[in-house]
Amino acid sequence: MSQLRYNPLLRTYTMVAANRQNRPHMPKDWCPFCIGSGRVPDQYDVLVYDNDYPVLSPDYGTAGLTEHPAATPYHQADAYGHCEVILYSSDHNASLHQLSVEHITKLVHVWKTRFLHYRQDERVKYIYPFENRGEEVGVTMPHPHGQLYAYPFVPLKIRTELDSCRHYFAEHHRCLLCDMNTTELEDGRRIIAQNNHFVAYLPHFTDYPFGVFVVAKQHIGSFAQFDDATAQSLAKMLKEVTGAFDKIYDRPFPYMMCIHQTPVNSTEYADSATYYHFHIEFYPPLRDRDKVKWYASSEMGAWAAANVVAVEQTAVVLRDALMRYRAEQTIVFEHKGMQLLALPLSYLQQSVDEPNLLVQQLGLPAQNIYNPEHWVTILRNEIIPEVAANPQIWQYYTRWLVIDTALGAIVCDMCLQHGIDKTGSLEFGYGVNIVYEGQGYTTRAVACLVQWATQDANIKRLIAETNRTNIASIRVLEKNGFRCYKANENSFWWELVLD
């Protein structure tokens, strides 16, 4: 028996799926999602798989929902809808973050395709891809997978958000989630990561210690508005966020991943694209390595949430975990005899609170540690506000920071030579900033290592490596005791000299 039963107290439906209690116990070590099970093709990367025990199905009849129920408090309707499983990979032991960006991008495309498919069904009102991960949230099948429900009604939490966003829009003529993004970016303390299209943060109010929201930077409502670049950005962001999760306690980190987007075929929310905004909410149930945050009487019975920590603290922990995750993603390679280390540039931005850790990560000798307080001050007061004020700067952070590990000097990530920027100017301020201009962007990388590179012996080596005879003109920039020799506009070489 499967039904939707109306809950008149909450004005929503309970999905009753009595068949799910009879789910057979699978033989141990047998996985229906693994190749060779007889249930899946001989080869796949991302696969849509029919839910064997759906809570909603077209097979359950088509008796529609009643908007305004009869005089009696109780009524029910057929559990019409769709449920499917989306297998992330044929590898039984893979995690989302272990898949390549290309692979995860395919998953995002599947979400989009299924969204476009199900919204053609007029009876479907809300399409909800999600993932439960880990035993703590009841997952018995470790094979990496998510699910998708296509509901014949707009679920209560989504309605609540829609109503709040509509209300906010009516009052302020702005989108609530757009304003949340702005507020979080201005504050900065709870930002975990960002790229061209998405920003991840622990919202000011979130009730879970690591309850990250991944929010679209542009005002988009649903997967329908995703282009290829947006899909790839989301893939990168999900890889980083879930990768960081597993680094927090160095164990697979359970979570619920909930994708919120505009409803479909809804007359009530027909205009929701103006005031609602695509975002993903994570609910990781751990509050310590082995401690589950239970949804107890206050949370469940009164919907009065409690968070045992301030998320400004957990944001530091999560950024630190992200750094450790990224450090494993760095590329070490050799080029013309140089031992090079390539880091995603955003790695540096994340290290605001952990400058010493950064130096350790880079494997630099201990005496090279600059004054962390000074550096943090510069980052806090100068660089972060600038980045927040100029979102296009983040364009740059999709590039790499390449470091000569022997010299501790920065290498151009495009030409792999020391201190050359073909397109613009290079300038040292405070000994820690490099400004690149050109090719449609003005960006600033934080180059703490320059300080080390300016020490005497290192300077000589640096000059030897960068000294060329084809300098057309030289402009000397002096800041905080560093001098930079600059050539003509199109190409230049630079040297550093201590006063």
Q: Cα 205 to chain center, whole Å?
A: 18
Could you tell me the smallest distance in angstroms from the CB atom of residue 388 to Zn ion? 18
Q: Quick one: CA torsion of 291, 194, 99, 412, rounded to 10 degrees?
A: -130
Residue 174 interacts with Zn ion (CB under 5 A)?
Answer: no
Considering only residues 12, 16, 19, 31, which one is a binding residue for Zn ion as defined by CB under 5 A?
A: 31
Considering only residues 12, 19, 34, 116, which one is a binding residue for Zn ion as defined by CB under 5 A?
A: 34
Could you tell me the smallest distance in angstroms from the CB atom of residue 162 to Zn ion? 9
- Catalytic option among 97, 145, 277, 279: 145
Could you tell me the smallest distance in angstroms from the CB atom of residue 141 to Zn ion? 7
Measured CA to CA, the distance from residue 457 to residue 365 in angstroms comes to 15
Stretch that binds Zn ion, among 102-110, 115-123, 257-265, 338-346 (CB under 5 A): 257-265
| Pick from 171, 144, 138: nearest CA to 23 | 138
Residue 388 interacts with Zn ion (CB under 5 A)?
Answer: no
- Is 411 within 8 Å of 455 (Cβ atoms)? no
Stretch that binds Zn ion, among 22-30, 175-183, 264-272, 430-438 (CB under 5 A): 175-183
| Pick from 281, 307, 280, 318: nearest CA to 189 | 318
Nearer to Zn ion, 307 or 455 (CB): 307
Nearer to Zn ion, 174 or 422 (CB): 174
Considering only residues 3, 4, 13, 33, which one is a binding residue for Zn ion as defined by CB under 5 A?
A: 33
Could you tell me the smallest distance in angstroms from the CB atom of residue 255 to Zn ion? 15
Query: In b/e form, how buried is each residue of 324-360, taking b as 16+ CB within 10 angstroms?
Result: bbbbeebeeeeeeebebbbbbbbbbbbbbbbbeebbe
Q: Is 379 left (phi over 0), alpha (psi -120 to 50) or beta?
A: alpha
Residue 35 interacts with Zn ion (CB under 5 A)?
Answer: no
Instruction: Work out whether the CA dihedral 291, 293, 295, 299 comes out positive or negative.
Output: positive
Considering only residues 106, 114, 133, 143, which one is a binding residue for Zn ion as defined by CB under 5 A?
A: 143
Stretch that binds Zn ion, among 140-148, 192-200, 336-344, 352-360 (CB under 5 A): 140-148
Residues 6+ apart with CB under 8 A from 136: 254, 285, 286, 292
Residues 272-301 touching Zn ion, rule: CB under 5 A, are 277
Q: What is the DSSP string of 381-415?
A: IIIHHHHHH-GGGGGGGGSEEEEETTTTEEE-TTT
Could you tell me the smallest distance in angstroms from the CB atom of residue 149 to Zn ion? 15
Residue 166 interacts with Zn ion (CB under 5 A)?
Answer: no
Residue 474 interacts with Zn ion (CB under 5 A)?
Answer: no
Task: Extract the runs of DSSP E, i.e. beta strands, from 188-330.
Answer: 191-194, 198-201, 213-216, 255-260, 279-283, 286-288, 291-292
Nearer to Zn ion, 96 or 362 (CB): 96
Residues 395-454 touching Zn ion, rule: CB under 5 A, are none
Nearer to Zn ion, 143 or 166 (CB): 143
Cα angle: 240, vertex 243, 246; to 5 degrees: 150
Could you tell me the smallest distance in angstroms from the CB atom of residue 219 to Zn ion? 4
Q: Examine the residue annotation and report whether 145 is marked as an active-site residue of this protein.
A: yes
Residue 219 interacts with Zn ion (CB under 5 A)?
Answer: yes
Stretch that binds Zn ion, among 126-134, 213-221, 242-250, 365-373 (CB under 5 A): 213-221
Could you tell me the smallest distance in angstroms from the CB atom of residue 111 to Zn ion? 16
Residue 256 interacts with Zn ion (CB under 5 A)?
Answer: no
Residue 237 interacts with Zn ion (CB under 5 A)?
Answer: no
Residue 251 interacts with Zn ion (CB under 5 A)?
Answer: no
Considering only residues 106, 159, 260, 319, which one is a binding residue for Zn ion as defined by CB under 5 A?
A: 260
Token pair recorded at residue 4: 């939707």
What DSSP state is assigned to residue 418? B
Residue 178 interacts with Zn ion (CB under 5 A)?
Answer: yes
- Is 474 within 8 Å of 466 (Cβ atoms)? no
Residue 175 interacts with Zn ion (CB under 5 A)?
Answer: yes
Residues 6+ apart with CB under 8 A from 278: 215, 216, 220, 221, 222, 223, 225, 260, 261, 262
Nearer to Zn ion, 69 or 155 (CB): 155
Residues 6+ apart with CB under 8 A from 71: none
Nearer to Zn ion, 30 or 67 (CB): 30
Considering only residues 150, 177, 264, 401, which one is a binding residue for Zn ion as defined by CB under 5 A?
A: 177
Task: Extract the runs of DSSP E, i.e. beta strands, from 51-203.
Answer: 76-78, 82-87, 126-133, 145-151, 191-194, 198-201
Nearer to Zn ion, 31 or 357 (CB): 31
Residue ranges binding Zn ion (CB under 5 A) = 31, 33-34, 92, 143, 161, 175, 177-178, 219, 260, 277
Which residues are known catalytic residues?
A: 145
